[in-house]
Amino acid sequence: MQLSDFLSEKLIVLELEAQDKTEAVRAMVTRMARHHAITRPEVFLDEVMARENLEPTCIGRGIAFPHTRTLCVNRPVIALGRARRSIPFTAKESDNVQLIFVMGTPKDDSNTYLQILARLCRLLRQSRFRERLLTAGTPREVLNLFNEYDAPTVEPSERALRPLEPERALGSAMAH
C-alpha cells in the first residue's frame, strides 16, 4: 500500500481559498464529488464535520486530517488542499492549517483507515517533505513527492525472495 494509491491529481487543490474550517472542508468535498470520488456529498460533508466537531483533527505543524469512515466511498480516498494563507481550524492560533487532507474510507474497513492515518502522520513528521508539499508547483509534483517519500514497505519474507542486483551482490568491482 502507498498513499498515492488513494490520491489523484484531480483531488489536489494547490490554491485552496477558505476563511475557516467549514469552508475549506466544503471546498474539498465539492472537488471530491465533482470527480466522482464520493457519493452523496452532503452526507459525506456532514459526517466529516460531525467527526471534526467531536475532536478537531489538526495535528500541529499546519496540518489537519478531516476524515470519516463512511458509506459514501467504496474505496479509500484522500483529497489534499493547500492554502497559501493559514486557515483557522479551532479558536487556538496554533491550530491554523495550510495542508488539509480530507479522507474517506469505507465504514467496514477500519484497518486500512488506521494504516493510512499512520502513514500520513509518519510522512508529515518529516520537515523536508512538508516543505516540499508547500512549494510543489503542480498536482503531479505532489504525487511524485508521495511516491518518493512513501516507498512501499517490503515485508521481510518478500525481501528474502528478491534476487540481489548484480552491483550490490558483487560490490563495486563489477562497475569497473
Per-residue confidence band for 154, with pLDDT thresholds at 50, 70 and 90: low
Q: Residue 161 above 50 pLDDT? A: no
Per-residue confidence band for 153, with pLDDT thresholds at 50, 70 and 90: low
Residues with Cβ within 8 Å of 23's Cβ and at least 6 positions away in sequence, in order, are 87
Q: In degrees, to the nearest 5, what angle opens at C-alpha 39 toward C-alphas 147 and 54?
A: 80
Ramachandran angles phi, psi of 75, nearest 5° = -150, 160
Lowest model confidence (mean pLDDT) among 59-63, 78-82, 109-113 = 109-113
Per-residue confidence band for 175, with pLDDT thresholds at 50, 70 and 90: very low
Q: What is the mean pLDDT of the chain?
A: 87
Q: Residue 89 above 50 pLDDT? A: yes
Per-residue confidence band for 152, with pLDDT thresholds at 50, 70 and 90: confident
Q: Count CB neighbours of 44 within 10 A.
A: 24
Measure the CA–CA gap between 59 and 32, rounded to whole angstroms: 23
Domain boundaries, the chain: 3-153
Report pLDDT digits (tens) over 16-57.
999 999 999 999 999 999 999 999 999 999 999 999 999 999
Asked: is 3-153 a CATH 3.40.930.10 domain? The reply is yes
Q: Residue 104 above 70 pLDDT? A: yes
Answer with the residue of higher pLDDT: 93 or 102: 102
